[in-house]
Each structure stands twice: as structure tokens, then as C-alpha cells.
């Protein structure tokens, strides 16, 4: 019997380009559902004889998806990626962000590099994974709501950790130019709601402006941000070094001549491993409590409420980690250990006990931008990686 021919990277790249066009066509902005995209992935998997498992959110409007290939034994490889993308609102695109557009050696479209290009490569290799050649399993782990705090992955990771034969390692396909990245910062996000009492802006003694109170709190965060930058460890491997804090969203007031009834702002704190976000924020949180009590002495309905929105752990470097070594073997990467300033689901997989590496096509420099793109050469490098993965597990 003639042995099967090795998978051609060129063939896989061509497959992936067609699949990427379909994936980009689904508007999976995090505020919306990802179910249409998941339906498509599920249909493609069913056609290969694979029955994926959904791990939905509480109201069923979004879902993770797990698909397993090969023998149901321990020691497999998880290929992890998120299906959601950031908004295109207000961005100046030269082409339709929901139509894959080739131009100048690049593939333009929202999510091309972050990170539907990796998902397309996984799906392009799926027929090979499903061919019966594998001696170790491959598990797809496609999540929702990564872009708004890595909110979807924890439930999926719990299923992988407790209900599947234990995988040996996880490859998270965030854009790294197909180089192994073995560390990232953690992120904690918070929503602060300040409630005031409306009155005419000329009669400040009759009301309490939520905006004015919120500005004081945001000023404290600006000072904390500056302090973190000044005190950053010069030996820290991240850029920027140490922890960083930014206020990303502010919404308050109804008119210029009305004392604002409500102001809501959101901020994030990004920390290297070993730094406790709550400890860093303790002075700020105590000030929020003090201001809350003070405001309630004027009007019972007034006050300050701080709500933790998300917390993603840092991804710590694993010396000699199985995932890092495996990814480097497939890519031929013999460069230094690398870290990333952004947060990803890698920290969540590592926290669950999995050896993890980040390695995917494209550059984070193109992510979240108007005219986001994936270099065709990067898709081809990713295709070669997938072809080697098939061979390594066969």
C-alpha cells in the first residue's frame, strides 16, 4: 500500500486563504454573537466526521468550541485561538473590513492577524488531522470574548482539564511572526461607577457632580500610573517595563449646565508575574471607599462603586517548557526567550497546569488597527508550521 504523501505547505496555505475569507466575513466584534462563525466551523468539522463540543456563555448568545482529532489518549496538542475581534467603528479603512482583500502581498480585513489567520490554518489542516494518521491527538480550542478580558476561555479550559485525556501542551496562536513567545503580562480591568445628584450647574450647593468626583479618582490613577513607570524594575524583560495603568473609557453627564448624575469609567492594570494588582490598587480602592461614605452623607443615593470586570493571570516563562521546545522545533526558532506586553489566554492555560507557548502568524503591530492585515508570507510560514505539526504527530 502506498504511503500517504506529506502535506504540502503550499496546498495548506491556499486552503487557509479561502477559509480566512469566510472567517473574516463574520462580524464577530466582541459586543455581538459569534454563533454564525461557530456554526460554520462546526459544519466543516462535521463534514470530516468530527463532532465538536460547545461550551456556551450563560445566555447562549456566544460559545467556545472544542474539536478533537486522533486517538483519545493523553499527550495531545491544543491549538487555541479566539473568534472575537475588536470594533472597526470610527476607523478609516481603505477596503471593506469584512471582506478579505489581497493587496501588495498582504491580506486585509478585520481579524486577519488577530487572530483568524491562525484559526484558518487550523481548519486548513483539519482534513489531515482527521485522516486517521495521528498517533497523538490534536484539540482545537476556539474561544469567545478574549478581546474584552479573556472572559470566555476559563469555562473551556476547565472542560479540557477535567474531561479530555490530558493534553501535553498548548499552542496559543496570537500573532508573534511565527516565533515562540513564552511570557506575557497579566491584566485586571475595573469599572468604576460614580453616582451624583443632578442640579443646575449654577447651584452647586444643591447637587453633587459625579463627573467632578470621578475626575478626582481618575487623577489618582494618573498619579499611580506615573509612579509605576518611575519604579519599574530596569531588569524587567517587558516593554514597557513593569506594570502599566490606563483609563480606557469615560462616560458621564447629560449636558454642560447640569451637575452630572452618573459617570462611569473603566481602567486596566497590566502586571508582570509576581505583582498583585489588588495590592497595587489598595490606596485607590481605599480612597473610593472614603469618597463613597462622604458622598452618602450629602445624598443617600450618591456614592462610588468599583466592580472588578476581568482578571487574566500573567504567563510566566517556563525554563525548558515542553510547549516552547515543541514550537521552536517546528519553526526552527533558535532565538532568545521572548515576552509580550499584552495579555492573552496563555496565562489561563498555564494557570490550569498546561505547558503553554504563544506562536502564530502576523504581527501584533497590525492588530486593532484600521487596514489590519496579515502578510501572505506569514500565512505561508504558518502553513509550513501546520504541515510539520501533522508530520510530528503522525
As a whole number of angstroms, the distance between CA 285 and CA 306 comes to: 8
Beta bridge partners of 129: none
231: annotated active-site residue: no
As a whole number of angstroms, the distance between CA 379 and CA 371 comes to: 17
Catalytic-labelled residue, pool 27, 42, 84, 372: 84
Cβ contact 187:341 at 8 Å: no
Cβ contact 84:65 at 8 Å: no
As a whole number of angstroms, the distance between CA 391 and CA 384 comes to: 11
What's the first-to-final CA gap in the chain, in angstroms?
17
Instruction: Look up residue 82 and give its three cell numbers.
Output: 479566539
In this structure, the chain runs to a length of: 394
Catalytic-labelled residue, pool 42, 146, 345, 375: 146
Q: Is residue 52 left, alpha or beta, with left meaning phi > 0 and alpha meaning psi from -120 to 50?
A: beta
As a whole number of angstroms, the distance between CA 349 and CA 161 comes to: 9
89: annotated active-site residue: no
Report, as residue numbers or ranges, the catalytic residues: 84, 146
Amino acid at each position: 500500500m502506498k504511503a500517504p504523501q506529506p502535506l504540502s505547505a503550499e496546498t495548506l496555505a491556499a486552503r487557509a486563504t479561502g477559509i480566512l475569507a469566510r472567517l473574516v466575513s463574520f462580524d464577530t466584534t466582541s459586543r455581538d454573537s459569534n454563533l454564525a462563525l461557530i456554526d460554520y466551523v462546526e459544519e466543516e468539522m462535521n463534514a470530516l466526521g468530527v463532532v465538536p463540543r460547545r461550551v456556551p456563555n450563560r445566555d447562549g448568545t456566544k460559545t467556545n468550541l472544542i474539536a478533537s482529532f486522533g486517538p483519545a489518549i493523553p499527550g495531545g496538542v491544543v491549538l487555541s485561538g479566539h473568534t472575537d475581534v475588536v470594533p472597526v467603528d470610527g476607523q478609516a479603512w481603505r477596503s471593506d473590513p469584512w471582506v478579505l482583500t489581497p493587496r501588495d502581498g498582504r491580506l486585509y480585513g478585520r481579524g486577519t492577524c488577530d487572530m483568524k489567520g491562525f484559526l484558518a490554518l487550523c481548519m486548513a489542516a483539519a482534513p489531515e488531522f482527521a485522516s486517521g494518521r495521528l498517533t497523538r491527538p490534536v484539540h482545537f480550542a476556539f474561544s469567545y470574548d478574549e478581546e474584552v478580558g479573556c472572559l470566555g476561555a476559563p469555562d473551556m479550559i476547565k472542560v479540557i482539564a477535567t474531561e479530555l485525556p490530558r493534553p501535553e501542551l498548548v499552542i496559543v496562536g496570537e500573532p508573534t511572526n511565527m516565533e515562540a513567545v513564552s511570557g506575557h503580562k497579566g491584566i485586571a480591568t475595573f469599572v468604576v461607577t460614580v453616582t451624583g445628584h443632578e442640579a443646575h450647574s449654577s447651584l452647586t450647593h444643591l447637587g453633587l457632580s459625579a463627573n467632578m468626583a470621578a475626575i478626582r479618582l481618575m487623577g489618582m490613577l494618573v498619579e499611580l500610573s506615573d509612579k509605576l513607570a518611575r519604579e519599574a524594575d530596569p531588569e524587567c524583560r517587558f516593554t514597557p517595563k513593569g506594570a502599566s495603568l490606563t483609563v480606557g473609557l469615560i462616560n458621564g453627564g447629560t449636558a454642560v449646565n447640569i451637575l452630572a448624575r452618573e459617570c462611569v469609567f473603566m481602567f486596566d492594570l497590566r502586571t508582570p508575574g509576581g505583582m498583585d494588582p489588588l495590592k497595587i490598587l489598595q490606596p485607590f480602592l481605599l480612597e473610593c471607599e472614603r469618597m463613597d461614605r462622604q458622598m452618602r452623607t450629602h445624598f443617600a443615593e450618591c456614592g462610588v462603586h468599583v466592580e472588578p470586570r476581568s482578571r487574566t493571570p500573567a504567563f510566566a516563562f517556563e525554563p525548558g517548557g515542553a510547549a516552547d521546545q515543541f514550537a521552536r522545533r517546528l519553526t526552527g526558532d533558535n532565538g532568545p526567550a521572548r515576552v509580550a506586553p499584552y495579555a492573552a489566554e496563555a496565562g489561563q492555560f498555564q494557570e490550569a497546569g498546561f505547558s503553554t507557548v504563544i506562536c502564530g502568524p502576523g504581527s501584533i503591530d497590525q492588530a486593532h488597527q484600521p487596514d489590519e492585515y496579515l502578510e501572505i508570507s506569514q500565512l505561508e510560514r504558518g502553513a509550513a508550521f501546520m504541515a510539520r505539526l501533522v508530520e510530528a504527530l503522525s
